[in-house]
Chain A
Amino acid sequence: MNLAFKDVKYNFLRFLLTTAGVGFLIMASTGMVGLYRGIVGDALLVVDKIGADLWVVQGGRAGPFSESSAVSANMDRRVEGIAGVSVVRRFVQISQQFSFEGRDLRASITGLDFPKDRGEWVELQRGRYLTAGHFEAIADESIGLSLEDRVRLGQDDYLIVGLTRGMVDASGDGLMFVTVNDAMAIAKRRTSEEVLLARNAAGRTGAADASESSVPQDSKIAAVLVSLDKGANEDRVRADVLAWGDANILSRADQRDLLLNQRLWRLRLQILAFTGVLLVVMAIVISLIIYMLTMEKLHQIAMLKLIGARNSVIVAMIAQQSFLIGAGALVLGLAMSKLVFPFFPRRVVIDPWDFAGLALAVGAVCAFASLLGIWRALKVRAQEVLS
């Protein structure tokens, strides 16, 4: 006769509520760890997927993700001439806010160096890659656009030809891919006042295009992405670029390190610290629940001892109940996480290994809580049944 199961069956509503309470705590912990994984994944998404071995960025800078970077417009052709370089692509990324059908939307405009790069490294959910050099865009679903939508960016209308899912930048803004030339045109858009001020500063008057020659423009190319030939000497390429003096060169690992350990360091630490606090709260709550459940049963435990139950019967009852609560809460926590987190605005990644770690932690907490209850139960004397 399994006393733990019998008790759970008898007090099923209490068990369900207790399990649900612990399950919500597990869901919160899963969410915090998942948010951390999501932020890291989002931040590294472009670096990992774009397929560049090296990033040539502005000299003295560690851009374009950790700090701003602007390289000269002809930097790609200079880099292309270095021995060992296979392919170069220009990279532009700018945050843009725009209106569409009365809604204010945000996107991280990312330039694809068309026609070398049509966006094949992007995982499309629907639609197609870019086929024209201008006015086509691939947008992430999170931006709030649909296929065939026409959206005005800068001075031009762009047709949404493809949709992605879960492609966002480190801030959580959905990525919108256009050609590099279009991205630069969007970036160069200036307000009327900016144009006027620039003209006055240059001592010039007269009508001119708001995005072109009337005002001096900085390059909007943030970096040049380099793919190396097989067997190329990376150090040699690195040395050649650094010798120019106006450029810095970073590897993919450097970019990852900068993103994780510089730009996102405090955020990561904060999330991890909060996860730690949640785990401690969860441990205390589970321990308290199991202890209180044991305290409730002290009279019955005394009775069991009186009728001669061995300690193993009592230990099994408490431990099994504790692990039933833990297991039930884990299942409930995982189910609720799967159900709820997809509706959260930021990506929450439920990594199986993270969840396995959480399950181990819950197991350890249940074991500790059981020990506490068992310790109390074993102190009960059979004659207490008379009290």
Chain B
Amino acid sequence: MTAEPILSVRDATRHYRSGDSIVKALDGVSLDINAGELVAILGPSGSGKSTLLLIAGLLEPPTEGEVRIRGALVSKAGEELDRLRDFRRRNIGFVFQKANLIPFLTASENVALAMEIDDVPARDARRHAERLLAGLGLGHRIGNRPSRLSGGEQQRVAIARALANDPTLILADEPTAALDGVRGRQVIELFRQIADTRGAGIVVVTHDPRSLDLFDRTIELTDGRVVGERAGPDRLQVL
């Protein structure tokens, strides 16, 4: 018996109207992400990577197609997604190119906020946040505000925040773009570790080819379509 995928996107299309013409940002993309799997989405600018992430993250509905998380149909054409804020909070963690930390909160408060929003008592949230940060090598930075952290440290705080509610799915959009090679690889190693230890499905949109060896699969998008998929570090299957 095959385990249910964490994320299942089926025939997702996303059309935007631009003047008189219609732009197909996504054109019938399907993908499954399994528990414990680290998947890279590659492709040039405008290939639909970020749009796919928005649709998978329940931030935009597809024009056609559907999104299932752990088998439950959560998004389809015309869906009002604002009502899914609670679902999103409990099931999906986000990491972006910019850490997007709240500047007036400390590292631990930034992480704890995600839990307090989910009605976790403040003291428990703070303790868990500190454990998460310590686990990511930031135990000595818990009381620092983002302005006192380096870019890599900020990104690790953002990852801790994404992990705060123990989501089954983590979506990352260019999380290493603002980092140098060494720190970028450290972030992907962190995702690898999270996928392995927590069993979360992780999708990383990236331009950066330097850490592809750490991914279980690589999916390549061009013009809103999946044009290639490589399973494991060495194999590329051209579709």
Contacts and interface: CB of A to CB of B under 8 A. Distances in A.
Interface of A: 1, 3, 6-7, 9-11, 299-300, 303-310, 313, 381-383, 385-386
Contact of A1 (B50, B86, B109): B109
A2 to B, nearest CB: 10
Instruction: Specify the main secondary structure of chain A where it touches its partner.
Output: helix
Contacts of B90: 308
Contacts, number: 63
Interface residues of B, number: 27
Given A299-B100, A300-B100, 12 more contacts: A1-B105, A1-B112, A3-B102, A10-B104, A304-B117, A307-B113, A307-B117, A308-B88, A308-B90, A310-B86, A383-B54, A385-B96
B14 to A, nearest CB: 12
Given A1-B113, A1-B116, A308-B85, A386 B173 contact: yes
Nearest to A385: B100
Contacts of A304: 102, 117
State the 4 A-B residue pairs at the shortest beta-carbon distance, nearest first: A308-B89, A10-B104, A383-B59, A7-B104
B113 A10 contact: no
B103 interface: yes
Nearest to A300: B102
A303 B102 contact: yes
A309 B117 contact: yes
Contacts of B114: 307-308
Nearest to B104: A10
Interface in B84-137: 85-86, 88-90, 94, 96, 100, 102-105, 109, 112-114, 116-118, 122
Nearest to B86: A308
B60 interface: yes
B60 to A, nearest CB: 6
A358 to B, nearest CB: 30
Contacts of B96: 385-386
A303 B116 CA distance: 15
B161 interface: yes
Among the interface residues A7, A11, A303, A381, which one has the most CB atoms of the partner chain B within 10 A? A303
B55 to A, nearest CB: 10
Contacts of A386: 50, 54, 96, 173
B104 A9 contact: yes
B104 A6 contact: yes
A304 B113 CA distance: 9
A3 B102 CA distance: 10
Nearest to B53: A386
B187 to A, nearest CB: 18
Contacts of A1: 105, 109, 112-113, 116, 122
Nearest to B89: A308
10 contacts: A1-B109, A3-B113, A6-B109, A9-B104, A300-B100, A307-B89, A307-B94, A308-B89, A386-B54, A386-B96
